[in-house]
Amino acid sequence: MNFRLAILFMVALTTAACSQPPFIDHPSTNGSMMPAKEIPGQIFVCYNPSSSTLADATALAQEACALTEQTAVFVDQTRYQCRLLVPMRAEFRCDPPRPTAKPGTKP
């Protein structure tokens, strides 16, 4: 009976971990033994490709960049740089918005 309960608990734990939504990974809290430098305008979003997409990560980065009236630009992504069950890390930078051309002027 205890073995079945343990298996059920592990299945529930695994299912819950796999459905974790994307989150912003702050370099100062990434669990690394090496101190990380936080670069202004750089955002890392961790996500699980089994339950989220790069588009979900981009939307989260866009929300973060919008706080400073900037736009998120995708830079790169790497595997196994976040948590074990949330293995993908997407890197973005926040760029200032491009100026829009006024009617009658050349861009």
Residue 24 has φ and ψ, to the nearest 5°, of -80, 130
What is the average per-residue pLDDT within 49-74? Answer: 94
> Over 50: is that where the pLDDT of 32 sits?
no
What confidence tier does 105 reach under pLDDT thresholds 50, 70, 90?
Answer: low
The more confidently predicted of residues 87 and 19 is 87
Strand partners, 47: 88
Residues in the chain: 107
What confidence tier does 62 reach under pLDDT thresholds 50, 70, 90?
Answer: very high
What is the average per-residue pLDDT within 16-24? Answer: 76
| Residue 21 to residue 88: CA distance in whole angstroms | 12
Strand partners, 72: 94
CA-nearest of 59, 54, 55 to 89 is 54
Report the predicted TM-score, pTM, of the whole model to 2 decimal places: 0.68
| Cα within 13 Å of Cα(80), Cβ side | 0
